[in-house]
Every structure is written in structure tokens, then in C-alpha cells.
Structure 1
Amino acid sequence: MTNSSPTETRLQWAPWWVLGFVALWPLPGPAEAVLSLGAVVALAVLAVHRFRGGIRLLSHEAWALTTVLFMSYWLPELISSLDAYDRPRALREALLDLRYLPFLWLVAIAVAGERGRRLTFAGLAVIASLWLLDGLVQALTGFSLGGPMSADRLSGIFGADNLKLGLVLASLAPFPLEWSARRLGLAGWVLMAAGLVVVVLLAGARAAWVTLGLVLAVSAWMQFGSRRALLLLGAGALAVATLLYACSDTLQERLQRTEAMLEGNAESLDHALSGRLPIWSTAWRMALAHPVNGVGVRGFRNAYADYADPDDPWLADRDHGAGYHAHQIVLEVLSETGFLGLFFWLGGVAIAWRAWRFAPPEARARACPPALALVATLFPLNTHLAFYSTFWGGLTLLLAALYAGSLLAGDGALARTGDDGQG
């Protein structure tokens, strides 16, 4: 019997670190501390061994793709700080976000081998399922681990002052759906999908509705085939939506607001979009006025008054926070990092797609959950949280590292020798 090498041992605890970070998302401070500490630990481990044996942790291709995806996010941030509206803050954000790179290496390492990947994906499924169960309990009783439901929507474990439950569950949905389908087949997938639909709908964020709809459509097609998936989705969506519509006045109001866009005029469209048209117009004017590198990451709120119309409703309601970011990924990138930033983002997308296109079928199969989660989260025909915020940026980069590490895991020496400590 052979002893575990240091590189093999390190891979065994990496998934637990990643899962600890995700499990703490409802507590932003501790989650950020775990992220930062994970970055330091990853750097320390690699420095002690002078990056020797790195190929045993991760393939060359996975190291490269993880780094490139980070750079496509970070370089626009750095370049935007050169003449940002709030230069000290933009530069501070760029320097602080450097910690993501070693942490993303750690995430990719966690899913580089079959054992670590199985543990990480199952752990994400369990965490999402527990949050889902907590949301269902809140829907029935009004109470959850995050406290009572004091808002007009489900808040779950995240609490009524941090209404991210629906968005997070929608982005993580591929993991519990795939996990349930593996263990219980069609019945498991349907049960999990129904729970997700109920909680995400009642959580109220219509951006999460779009994200979850994409995830369910693709997941059903991949699991059960196109015709069966369409019948399943159609029947299930009709039944759940009808039930929730009949039981929830708040959901009825949101659906009626969404239907207003069918009237075809600007006023109705703005009403359906919760007043976001002025924000998007202002973001576009910022991009045109600063086409190279934007107004600076997280500088949207500082520049808003200079580019908004005099009668912009958000100027009189600055405490609401709606004018703090563009609420749409393309406009956020353009307004805060300019067309140069958009070029880097599109370059990252192109490289990620090229890696997928040339990967063998078995690599695509193992990378499907994070790939679907990443695509649904970044889907441009939707509204979004700020991708350069700590929380949503961290979530997006985590999905990118899970994708890179799992897609390109098969070329590393560790994958060939096994990650269970046996050489």
C-alpha cells in the first residue's frame, strides 16, 4: 500500500472548503472571510511546493482556462480604475479582487478528480435542497432559518433584508436537478423541479424566473429527450403556475405587471420592468461618454446624476438603490468598463465556448451542471444583480472555476493516477 502524496491529500479537503464558502452565502461576512482565507491557503500551499506537482492537482489546460476566465473578469476592472469616477474605490476593488484568482484555482482543483467532483456537486445539491426546504417551510408557516417573512416575498435563509433566495436557487438549480435525476430518475427530477418552481416563483425575483426557466428547459431536454421534456415542462408549469396564481395575490400582481409589456408602449414596458428603462438609458449614455474603459467599476452610482434625465424618477429616490448599478450585464460592463471591458468579457466567453466545443463527450457530460448554471446566470436577455459586487461576482466566478476544472480535469496526472490517495 502506498501513502498519499501531499498533492493528492490537498485535493481531498479542497471540496469541503468550497462547500463551506457556499454554505455561508447567507452570512456575507463569514463567507467573504472563508474566500479570502482560501485564497491565502491556496497560495501558501503552491508557494511552499514552488508550484511543483501542479499538474497533479490540475491539468495545464484547466490551469490556463481558470486563469483566463478570471482575467476576462478582472482586467476590465483594473483598466476601468485608471480614470474612474471614484478612482480610489475602483482601484481598491481591483486589488481586492485579486484574491479570487488563487481561490478559483482551489475551486478548480476541488473538481479535478472524480471523487472531489462527486463530493462538490453533491454538496452543492444538498445545500441548495436545504435552502429550498427552508423556503417551502416559510411559504407554509411564514418562518424560516432566516427569520420571519417580513417582506412581500419568500426570503428563506437569506433573511428579509437580503432577498436573494430565488436568484441563488435558480443559478444553482442544475446541481440539485442532476443529483435528483441520478438517484430517483424522472420522479426525483419532477419533485425537485416542482419545489424549485414554487420557491423561486414565490421569492418574487422575475430575473430568477427567467434563469430557472432556462435551467429547467435544458435540464429536462438533456435528461429525458426533447418531446418528453416539452410535455413534462408544459404540464408541470401549467399546474404549478395555476395553483400559485390562485393562492398568491403578490404573484398575481407580478404576473400582471409582466403582462403590461405586451401593450407595446414605452410606459407599459417601463412598468413591466419595474422602472428600469431610465436606468438602462442612463447606463447607455455613460457608455457613449466613456467608450474606452467606462466610468469605473462600482462607479455607476457616482456617475448616475451626471447622465440621468432631469426628470429621472430615481434621482429623487437615491436611497432605494436602483440607480446603484445597471441591472443588466451588458449595460453594466459597457457603462463601468467600456467597450474594452466588453471585449475582454466576450473573449472569455469565446474561449470558454471553444474549450467546450473541442472537449470530448465525457468531459462535457461531467461539466454539464456548472456549464448550465454559468450560462443561465450570464444569460444576457434578462435583468441581473451587479456582477462586480462581492456576492454576485463571487458566485459567477465560482461557477466559472467549477466549469473549467470539471471540463478539463481529464488531462491531469492526478486524474490518471486517481485522487483517492493511491498512486
Structure 2
Amino acid sequence: MTTELMKTVAQENLGAHIEKELEEEALKGLINPLQVWITSASAPACYNLIPILTSGEVFGPHMEISINLFDNKQAEEKLTSLVKEAQDLASPFLRSVSLCTQAEEAFRQAHVIIFLDDHVDKEVYSLEDCIRSRATLCHLYGSLIEKNAHDSVRIIVGGKTFVNLKTSLLMRYAPNFAHNIIAVALGVEGKAKAELARKLKTTPSCIKDVIIWGNISGNNYVDLRKAKVYRYESAVWGPPHYSRPVLSLIFDSEWVNREFVESLKKFTATGRQFGGILAAHSIATTLKYWYHGSPPGEIVSLGVLSEGQFGIPEGIVFSMPVKFENGTWVVLTDLEDIEISEKIMTRMTSDLIQEKLVALGELINFQPYQSEYKALFSGLMPDDEKDLILSDGMSVK
């Protein structure tokens, strides 16, 4: 082949390559990326959440996303820095990242909205004021969702304060999307699994089917009756799918009834151990399950609107056992031997009902079912009532 001919062929190849790239770019422009909005984006959880969302694991390897960071004007400098760091990831799954500090622009064509712990601009002096401040914010957010969000938007509420309440208020103020609003309970579930794993000297990922009932960031019930441990090193050994009941392996009932309960109550009451890594992982995992389904046969805890299942009062957001499949979730009402005593049910629902009434201005003073509820606001850990898990006749068998 002559030099002149080689030049001609090379030129043609280059032209074909450029044409192909232009076609791919044009096609890429026709594919709309998934619009993901994160509120209170200056929160630590957001910093840990962005790398997970842009990894391709949450939404799938064929989905590009655009991340929109939403917060108040005071956080603009921090958001600008966060935008640059996200761009520096050079992720093939991240089409763009931007910031927003103007409320009227929030949630434009949002396909996914992630609510982190919100900021309260005005100073609050009581638990009631704190609750009512959430109602004001959720009213604003709800109206913006109704006005700006995509018809198929999925809304996920995380954080460590008033998670059930915020979810319930968003459902009220964005009624057209109420069926697609959920609350993340996997943080509490993960904490419980980690505590059990330390006791059993195994890894948390080997423990499955711990159920979180009730108020995710308050008065809840950590149910171990269905909990199993896999790949547990003992005299009895089996294949990977072989499991043993957790309660049959913990012979220290005092630890289960006292230390384990106290640790989890401190976790939900103060939120001090609920760091950005755990919050981000819990949100991302819940989203992944929502889009791709939860592991077959596993129980997942999720805060959803009660329709009277398990004797739970209708109309409150309550954490309960579900599975994810086909882009939605299904409450596992067919589980056996998970009845909840009237005392425990009252303990969990009383505060949730009152929270909502106070938030809506229908109740002036909040009267917690238990005095330690005030710990959620004051950050103090109570000394009494530490038998939440196995009370009312439940015992380790």
C-alpha cells in the first residue's frame, strides 16, 4: 500500500470515527438522565451518599444520573465545593451535578428526591415548637413536589429525627405522590445487626430478618423472633443457605433484655451514633432495593403508611416488614408468629399519633407515652423502661 493510499484510508477512518462519536453524543443527548435531588445537601450524609449514587450500583449500570444539591443560601459555598468534588469523581454514571438555593426551583422534573435531616432556621424552645417547625418545612416541600416533580417521582426520607413524622407530612402535602413516599429504617436495622454480630462473634452481613417496628427515630420495637444467622461457626455447620435462629444462639438473656435494648434506644433517642456513612448507606440500599428488588426471601424494614396491617392504626407512617419487587414494596402480612402485644403497640403508636396532631396544630401540648421521648429533643438517655424488645411476656426461647 502506497503512502498516499495509507493517508487516504487513515483520513477515512478518522472521519468515520468522528462521525460515530457525534452519533453517540447525539443519542446520549436523547436519553434523559435520572434527575436525583438531595435536600439539606450540606449535611454530612450527602458527602457520603454521592459516591454511592454515582457508582452505578444503585440505579444500574445503564442509567446516567444528574444530581441536584438543594439547601439554603447560607450553605451555597459548601455546596459549590461539593459540586466540584462530585465532578472530580469523573464517574461515567454522572451526567451532571448542580446546586440549588432557590426554593421555587427545587425538584424540577425530579425522578428521585432524597430528604436528609432538615435545617430549622428559627430557634426553637420546646419539643412542640420543634415538631411544628417540621410541618412548615414539609408544607413547603410538599407544594414544590406537587408543582415541579416528575409524575413518577420516588421520595425517600432518611435522617435521625422525626423520620416518620416528616414522611407522614410529605404524604399530606404532596397527596398525588403519597403512594411513592417511604421512610428509611435500615439504619436502625443495621445497628441491631452489628450489635448482635459483636455478641455472636460473626459479621453483621451474616444476620438477616431483624424487623424494626414503629417509630424509626423514636419509640420502636426491634423484633428478633425471625432473625437468623448464616455461616455461623459452631459445632453445627451447613451449606451457605443454612441458617440458625439468632435467639437460639444467645444464651445471655440479660444481655438481650438490657444491654442490647439500651444500646439501640440510645441510638434512636439521641442519634449521636447515626453518622453520615450509615445514613448514606441505608438510603442508597433502600433505593437499590426499590429499583431492583430486595434479596429473595429476606425481610426488609421500611416506614410506610399503615392500612391497618398487624393491628397498626390506619393513617400513620409505621416501620414494618416488607419486601421489594417489581419497582415497589409489599408488606409481609403473611408472616407467622409476629403478633405485637397491645402494650407495645400502644407504646409505639401513641407518640406517632400525637406528633402528627401537634404538627398540624390540633394538639397544643405533647404528652409522651414514656418520659424518655423527651430524650429525642434533649439528647439525654433515660434510665428506665429498658425492656422494649422482649417485654410483655416475650422471652428468649
TM-score band, normalised by the shorter chain?
Answer: under 0.3
User: Higher relative CO (CA 8 A, sep ≥ 6), structure 1 or 2?
Assistant: 1
- Going by fraction, where is strand more abundant, 1 or 2? 2
Q: TM-score, normalised by structure 1?
A: 0.26
The structure with the larger Rg is 2
- Going by fraction, where is helix more abundant, 1 or 2? 1
